[in-house]
Amino acid sequence: MSRSSRISIFLEMMSAERGASQNTLEAYERDLERFEDFLSSARKDLTVVEASDIRTYLADLTAEGLSARTQARHLSSLKQFYLFLMEEGIRQDNPVAEIGTPRMAQSLPKFLSIEDTDALLKAAQENQTDEGLRLCALIELLYATGMRVSELVSLKISQTQRDPRILTVMGKGNKERLVPLSPRAREALDRYLLVCDNFLPNSEQDKIKDTGWVFPSRGKNGYLTRHRVGQLLKELAIESGVMPSKVSPHVLRHAFATHLLENGADLRSVQKMLGHSDISTTQIYTHVLQERLQQLVFEKHPLSSKS
């Protein structure tokens, strides 16, 4: 069996048995093919790799200027691949097991202020064309639910129709979660759904085929791309007077979480709405809680300097 065939079978397993998303599968494929190319220069096979080979590979990534976070992702891909080879009986050990994850500096997520977010929302509401209604629905849903942009663009109409107060989101690993939907976001969505068919391809054959996507397009997947959503938000930022460099779909997800915590939401609830499987992932937002608690003590404690 060829080396590339082993990668293909691994990807098939991750998709069929573990429900890995298309984005995750593509990331695994890129990482493993890059490692395979690295090994080819040393005339080594994927199945006979030693820990020393992986350390050399990580050093190579460092020399190319890749961040510790990117190196950690590569290492995670290799770990999953060699676990698969062990399960298949191709290897007796995992050469990645004894290698520590590169240390990463803890960086706080970027997020928009409430004022900047309001400016974006107001600018989106002013455009009453079909494109404007779509953009308004996109940004209202992103900010109201904290969805990942990949979850947003692949949203199906059936996911919006179970309960007007709730949106059903299909997250990583095909895990379904329910997120409350504000009346304002629901109104923006309903107004857009009246015209969403106008974004279907013009050919009669495609019109007959009902895709069911909330945000259909002419792309190969049949729905709006993540890249295009990012472009639309940058254009909206310019119109609203917000720095385009500050705006992206992921920044709106961070704004959702941060603004909730600033206004009293608890971390567990935010974790569920974001679709984080581990609370440690959500804890990047604890700086918001710490600032709010400090302000609370300063303003409310009887012995504070303010009192």
- List, by residue number, the catalytic residues: 148, 172, 250, 253, 276, 285
Residue 166 CB: number of other CB atoms within 10 A? 14
The 3-state secondary structure of the chain, one letter per residue: CCHHHHHHHHHHHHHHCCCCCHHHHHHHHHHHHHHHHHHHHCCCCHHHCCHHHHHHHHHHHHHCCCCHHHHHHHHHHHHHHHHHHHHCCCCCCCCCCCCCCCCCCCCCCCCCCHHHHHHHHHHHHHCCCHHHHHHHHHHHHHHHHCCCHHHHHCCEHHHHCCECCEEEEECHHHCEEEEECCHHHHHHHHHHHCCHHHHCCCCHHHHHCCCCECCECCCCCCECCHHHHHHHHHHHHHHHCCCHHHCCHHHHHHHHHHHHHHCCCCHHHHHHHHCCCCHHHHHHHHHHHHHHHHHHHHHHCCCCCCC
- Nearest Cα to 42, choosing from 58, 53, 30, 31? 53
Q: What are phi and psi of 163, to 5 degrees?
A: -155, 125
Q: How far apart are CA 149 and CA 158, in angstroms?
A: 18
DSSP β-bridge partners for residue 163:
166
Both structure tokens of 91: 């290897």
Asked whether the beta carbons of 189 and 160 are under 8 A apart, the reply is yes
